Structure 1
Amino acid sequence: MRVFGVVGIAACVAATAACSSSDDGDGNGTTASGGTYTWWDPYPQHEDSSDWAQRVDACGDEAGVTIERTAYDTTALTNQALLAAQEGSAPDIILLDNPAVSTLADTGMLTTMDEFGFDTSEIDENLLAAGVVDGEPYGIPIGANTLALYYNEDILDEAGVAPDAISDWSSLTEALEQIDAAGSQGITFAGIGTEEGSFQFLPWYWGAGADLRALDSPEAVEALELWTSWVDAGYAPNSVITNSQNTVWEEFLTGRFAFALNGTWQVNSAAEADFPTGVIALPGRDGGVAPTPTGGEFITAPVQSDEARYDVTTQIVECMTTPEGLVETATTFAYYIPPTHAGQEALLESSPELEPWVDAVRNAKGRTSDDLGTDYPLISEALWTAVQNALSGAMSPADALDQAQADAEAALN
């Protein structure tokens, strides 16, 4: 997952000469420099020689232009995009972490997909919702990732726990009791005081039936009591309060934990672990699959002063978002699930082992869904602060969430 928080506009960290919203076009969607289109994404780990960079270049080649790609980390990308909105120097295409879409749409710097001429009807509604503001989609998800429970088969076998018997919170807690009695550690997760903490808590929060507009609801309290009860009983380590998702995974790979809450992006690593692993969907309080938050990026088209550029931009976006293009992106990253049913089925034909993740994505929910939009980061910060206060023992879950609701209301008013 790539996370997004409330950030100020940073100083420009790259020359704005790299942007392409100037009026020096030739009327055919090309620039005086010979057909260069600018592209920003949040993947600095993928260098120019990577499969991802080559995929981007190939879409430029297909459109008959050169793509000038600039990669920032997620926060820097959002800052730079906000600065570009102020200066009128936006690139032709930006890939955005999905909670950031509403923030940039609020500035007026993004075209809607309807304005851009894209039909989004084939995109799974639960995935598209993260980029919808006031009923208008401002981007297309290039894929999605989400959370599930990885498990260590050896530990579960030794404790006599059948993973397919875990169907609700009660059966999961009973499994943790058995694992603890057998001498192994139960579960590790990320309760860190950042967006990652909210991201990992949301499946339990939503799985209890809680709503992000009411952080102090009885359902919300039940979810936080679940986490704190696991820590108090020793089923989860005290380190969860500072664990990032990477730390959680490092703990799991030691072979000491039965379960780890983590994401699609660890599929390859799990396959290479020193012990056999499996995956189960996160259970809701009373059964069924809990809604999990979607991670992943949307491809967006910023407003350009030279509207002639849109023709080529459309071709580039289409290259990325055809059914075949979505599967190719999923394959390139190895952890993205296509955002359409057809794309998911095509992916499963070649990678049937990803079925649990396809199921999880189909049940997932955007963090800014329910028209939370730019309110979400403020609510999320109040939520992760409550999680910290409860896990540390500074406050009871009920008191922590009462405070969170008051803080969220103050921030939003």
Structure 2
Amino acid sequence: MNQADLKARYDAVMMNAFGVPKRVFARGEGIHLWDTDGNRYTDLLSGLAVNALGHAHPGVTTAVAGQLDQLGHVSNFFASEPQIRLAERLAAFTGVEPTRVFFTNSGTEANEAAFKLTRLTGRTKVVVMEGSFHGRTMGALALTSNPKYREPFEPLPGEVFFVPFGDESALRAAVDNRTAAILLETVQGENGVVPAPEGFLAAARRIADDAGALLWIDEVQTGLGRCGDYLAHRADGITADLITMAKALGNGFPIGACLATGRAAELLHPGQHGTTFGGNPVAAAAGNAVLDALESGVLENARATGAWLVRALGELSHPQILEVRGRGMLLGIVLREEIAARVSDDALDAGWVINAPRPSVLRVAPPLIATPEDLAGFVDALPALLDGHG
């Protein structure tokens, strides 16, 4: 069935939460996608930084199929070996003992779990960054700064205070002995790929310690190789009390995790939180397969290819490009004019999947398996796409 017919069927039955889909895709392989009309695209967005290993990755496919054939679901009254093994591997990334893991189905659910954990400190104030995005459920939405997302659903859970991202003085002024946690991202992906200024994470760690508060770092988009390391904040020499992750962890299979370290690891007790599907054997098998791939050279490839892409985009010296910012394989191409949405649409028509998180920013987040040879065509095509809207 063609694109037009499928879009009409979509419009007839789907809630209007996302608008009209730009394409209806039929299959994917590696860094490529095909729509139902047979057109091929190079995926430079990875399903919003989810498909770190590309599409139909054989390791993930084999792990998921094999686990389904053996044991699919048992509820969290029980456990499975893949779940325990995945938790052990994630805990090892934090640099802190003890570390305990709560599995979820998504990033917003991981943030909901962490939000509840902050309340178990006996404090209720959370200090969050302007420009943040932490999810769309009510708790996570309370922690997300964009008024467009927040206002239709207010009143939201309270005692959340926003400070400018990267402003150490404002953060210190906002944190006091009523503060349960400081929450931040190492790179604000939805705000246009804005990295934390150098030294800001370390300052946040000091400020949290001085106030007896938790430092909570949202690694949902930045973790598991996207920024070149298993956890982006660990590359900065920082440890966190709460860490949330999802996206790349299942390479498309729904799984997230909330990690609590040190004293925070002991906060949650039976009956205080739960999940039906979180950490089921199939999701855990997908997560273990992703970590296997990252350990077998994908992480190193992501670092090398990300560095090449930054250089190649910079060497274009196009007058419309003000800067290329980000870390690893999470990059924002900052434009002189607010033309990003139109450029993104034209790129899609030309076979390149990117998006525009802000009016003047293009986000590029290719699968971590991509090579410079895979991405060179996009770099070559970008000047003409920009010239079309100059």
TM-score class, shorter: under 0.3
Normalising by structure 1, we get a TM-score of: 0.26
Larger strand percent: 2
> Of the two structures, which has the highest relative contact order with CA contacts closer than 8 Å and spacing of 6 or more?
1
Normalising by structure 2, we get a TM-score of: 0.27
Larger helix percent: 1
